[in-house]
Structure 1
Amino acid sequence: MSRVTLLDLFSHSDVQKYVKRSGLAHAVACAYHAYRLAPEYKTDVELAVKAAFLHDIGHYTWYRDGEWDYELYRRNDIHAIKGAERAHRILIELGEDPADAKRISLAVLLHTDSFLPEQSIRREPLQEVVAAADEADEEPGGLHHYRSISDYEAAYRLRQLDTLLAGPSLTEQTTAAN
């Protein structure tokens, strides 16, 4: 089974549609945050980066009278549930290992507790990384979803991450440095 890269994900038509809807610049930034945070949480860096990139793929656009309504979104959105399903389907279509696709999708599902009435989740380290990466890039009122980035710049940054992920493992890098 070949490795599914971030560029593979980025090239998928549904990722193009839904990640751009929720903020491509935010998705790329979260992937970088996950790359930095995953070793601290002692979890798989590649899975964390993929989940962070896809974490908002379930967003729906909430409008009232032709205007984006953040409050309507905040009260009614279940993007984590829809996103987990979309991420799983896309990952499987692209040939991701099914067990890894499930772990990534669960991290997408549990990156927020906003869809739960009690709003309390006990997360595993991979899920914690994705939640932390999302929080690290948040802006008040959801403005992080509106930053822009060109497709060229996004592909360039994702290619850089793919290169880092394909290099020596972080464990090997740490061992070599000592």
Structure 2
Amino acid sequence: MRNVTLTDIFTHPIAQKYLKRSGVAHAVAVAYHAYRFAVQYNVSPDLAAKAALLHDIGHYEWYTDGKWDYRKYKENDIHAIKGAERAHKLLIRLGENPQHAKEIALAILLHTDSYLPEGTLHQRPLQKVVRLADEADEEPGGKHHYRQIDDSLALKKIRELDQKIEQWLKYKPYEQLGS
């Protein structure tokens, strides 16, 4: 059973604030990719879509002279750390299962290695799914963060994804899925 839906998350004012900063179209697209990868890798599509939707809510806007500075972003950004914290707090506030909120936050924390020291990272299946989903929607120079989507269309897509997840979970309860 889902305590919190994607719609609950998406419509919350805190989520809206940070999704608009990092790109709603990108967040929605990554949530759909995460659903697809979750099914493929036998991971909870609910947890994957939630982590994917929120994966970039820790973004800080890196500007130089009023213009987006992708180089400065790549050198200095730690958005995954801030995003994991924001997502966890939001999910707990909304009433998400605390263990699920933690798994989602960890998937957000590890969706990118851009801020980590060199070396290999062993990712759990949910973390891998969110990383793959993000990579599937990336564009050179961070342009994926600037694609536009109408607010009503974004909400419609989120509601449709909620329905897909509900249908999937009728046949595969959480206990049968990896994380």
Give the alignment's TM-score, normalised by structure 2.
0.92
> After TM superposition, where is structure 1 displaced by more than 2 Å over at least 4 residues in a row?
168-172
CA distance in 1, matches of 2:116, 2:168: 39
AA aligned opposite 2:10: F
AA aligned opposite 1:137: D
Q: Does 1:4 align with 2:4?
A: yes
State the partner residue of 2:176: none
AA aligned opposite 1:86: R
AA aligned opposite 2:25: A
CA distance in 2, matches of 1:153, 1:39: 24
Shift in Å, 1:170: 7.4
CA distance in 2, matches of 1:148, 1:155: 13
Percentage identity across paired residues of the two chains: 61
Structure 1 vs Structure 2 CA RMSD: 1.4
Give the alignment's TM-score, normalised by structure 1.
0.93
Shift in Å, 1:86: 0.2
State the partner residue of 1:90: 90
Shift in Å, 1:3: 2.0
State the partner residue of 1:42: 42
CA distance in 2, matches of 1:97, 1:78: 26
Matches within 5 A, 1:20-39: 20-39=20-39
Shift in Å, 1:169: 3.0
How many residues align? The count is 172
CA distance in 1, matches of 2:62, 2:130: 24
Shift in Å, 1:14: 1.2
State the partner residue of 2:18: 18
CA distance in 1, matches of 2:169, 2:68: 43
State the partner residue of 2:155: 155
State the partner residue of 2:75: 75
CA distance in 1, matches of 2:23, 2:154: 11
CA distance in 1, matches of 2:80, 2:119: 13
